[in-house]
A and B are shown apart, each in its own frame.
Chain A
Amino acid sequence: MFQEKSGIIFLILTVLLVISMAVGIMVGPVSIHVKQILIVVIDQLPGLNLAGVHENARTIITELRIPRVLLGFLVGGALAVSGTIMQGIFRNPLATPYILGVASGGSAGASLVILLGVATPLAHPLGALGGAAMVVGMVYRLSWSRGTTSTYTLILAGVALSALCSAITTFLIFLAGPYEQHRILFWIMGGLWKASWPVIMVMFPLIGFGMAGSLFWGRDMNALALGENTAFHLGIKPEQVKTLLLGLATVITALSVAVAGTIGFVGLIVPHILRLLMGPDHRKLLLASVIGGGGFLIAMDAVARFIMPPSEVPVGVITAFLGAPFFLYLLRRTRTGMQIG
């Protein structure tokens, strides 16, 4: 019966993902009808040649909307998987993908690049990646002592360095001229507007590989929920598993920050919603995070483009507006099972 129940949830999640993808393609300054999407998709198949779609609509669908939806899937999935891993490894429901400083490091790095006026297309993502890598590297280095990393020190070092990086970013904004200030703020707000086929071609294998890799470690994460000592007695090497999973989560988060900036709440609430729906078994939770996180961000991005046309509201605002009330609701109903001291 249990198997059936999670089977149904997976089915529902997949249906929601498909619906949010369709809506994501339809919504925007130019609205597209479902029929047109179908025709364009079918038209891509070899041997068929259907008339009936305006060339503009075709371009909007294939060059703008589809890459955007795919990027939403990758970034949303990466953040949700990373959140699931962070909450699981730190045994803390408040953990987010950004807890080790990836986002604030990335923001500081990107801000610096913007301020310096480097204008090549790869400059901002690389600046963000560099910043994120530096901060996370320092966090690990600070918490490494006698062959082990203390999870408490990791969290504290992450929080402290995040605060430092936020201060650096603020200072950079203060130094910048109005044009750069605008660009920095726009970058920090985060969003999927960088979506394009080249971005997808680079990100799909990297993030996709990372997400797929995490799926094999569900059982290890379950055992770690019993504490490192008990996990050890079950045949796990806690230090190895922790390093690998935190590394993996950090890399996919850093990649998503590099292309989409800081998008909050996806990595916090999606794992929570899924855990409420299907229980804490990470073997299911990780896969559900890929599907659910992807679908969630695509849907939120559609809302962001829909509510104030023709401009788009930063998607982080939408995820927070819908996420914060839900999170407060969760706090109200927090039970002993979610609090681990």
Chain B
Amino acid sequence: MKITTRDLTVFYGEIPAIRSVDLMINSGELVTLLGPNGSGKSTLLKCMGRALTPDRGTVFLNEQNVAHLSARKLATIIAAVEQEVQVAFDFTVREVVEMGRFPYLGRGESAGTRDKQAIQYALETTGIAALGSRNIHDLSGGEKQRVFLALALAQEPRVLLLDEPTSGLDIHYRLKIMDTVQQLSATGITVITAIHDLNLAANYSDRVVLLSGGTVVNVGGPEQVLTRENILKVFGVDVTIEISRSNGKMHISPV
């Protein structure tokens, strides 16, 4: 599903967090939001998922204004994984993932075949089917992150918003999460993710949105956007950029 923002503006007090952001993200695209801390990545994601009402501007899903959708309807289209989810009480992994079916089930209705299929698909796609009966609090950070991704997938969303899905994870889990995210985007889900790791962004994104001070500096393919000049301008860091001859992957490292 296509997601468009028009003139999106949010103020925190008097300080603008994002200012007149116009973006158009196509169906099935994997788009990364990049920028320093406080550049507006999380705010932008929150507006897209309607967790935050913008002071000005609109978010559209295809031609539909998200503000006009019911909470439940919205949850069947957009799923979001927050930066840090704290689970109260000792739920099992399966119980957490099952909650993804909330928008589909009426009060007192129990999960049907279709719900069970969606839950199983979510568990398998994220590689946590074997952890189903484990206590969520006994898992490692990387495993937990996949549980919340599975929870989002159980919603069968058309758009997935991920706020720093790889933060705090080791290199193995970072790549594993991004591989899964890439597969999901290949199935037609539109994925928008905020990431700090430039190399992950460079090698997994279809397009990159570079943000600074709440405005969009640049949008485009990783090679066009993640240039030495842009990175110096936005992050204030001088880098070298190499492109591997063997696999064509970009490698950005500080000088």
A residues lining the B interface (CB < 8 Å): 88, 91-92, 216-217, 219-220, 222-223, 225-227, 229-230, 232-237, 275, 279-281, 335-338, 340-341
Contact = CB atoms under 8 A, between A and B. Distances in A.
B49 A233 contact: yes
Given A219-B105, A337-B137, A225 B100 contact: no
A233 B79 contact: yes
Interface in B76-108: 76, 78-80, 82, 85-92, 95-96, 99-100, 102-103, 105, 107-108
A227 B72 contact: no
Query: Considering residues A225, A233, A341, which has the most beta carbons from chain B within 10 angstroms of its beta carbon?
Result: A233
A233 B80 contact: yes
Contacts of A279: 90-92, 95
A217 B135 CA distance: 23
Contact of B95 (A222, A234, A341): A222
A234 B155 contact: yes
23 contacts: A220-B102, A222-B91, A222-B99, A223-B99, A223-B102, A225-B88, A229-B51, A230-B85, A230-B151, A233-B49, A233-B78, A234-B75, A234-B99, A235-B75, A235-B102, A279-B91, A280-B90, A280-B91, A337-B90, A337-B136, A338-B89, A338-B90, A340-B86
Closest 6 CB pairs of A and B: A235-B75, A280-B89, A235-B103, A91-B88, A337-B90, A235-B72
B74 interface: yes
Interface of B: 49, 51, 71-76, 78-80, 82, 85-92, 95-96, 99-100, 102-103, 105, 107-108, 135-137, 148, 151-152, 155
B76 A235 contact: yes
B91 A234 contact: no
Contacts of A234: 75, 99-100, 102-103, 155
Contacts of B49: 233
Query: Considering residues B79, B80, B87, B152, which has the most beta carbons from chain A within 10 angstroms of its beta carbon?
Result: B87
Query: Considering residues A217, A226, A232, A340, which has the most beta carbons from chain B within 10 angstroms of its beta carbon?
Result: A226
B91 A225 contact: yes
Contacts of B86: 91, 227, 340-341
A335 B137 contact: yes
Given A219-B107, A280-B89, 14 more contacts: A88-B89, A219-B99, A223-B99, A225-B87, A227-B87, A233-B51, A235-B72, A235-B74, A235-B102, A236-B71, A237-B71, A275-B89, A279-B92, A337-B89
A232 B99 CA distance: 12
A275 B163 CA distance: 32
Contact of B107 (A216, A233, A281): A216
A227 B82 contact: yes
A322 B74 CA distance: 48
Given A225-B87, A336-B137, A232 B51 contact: yes
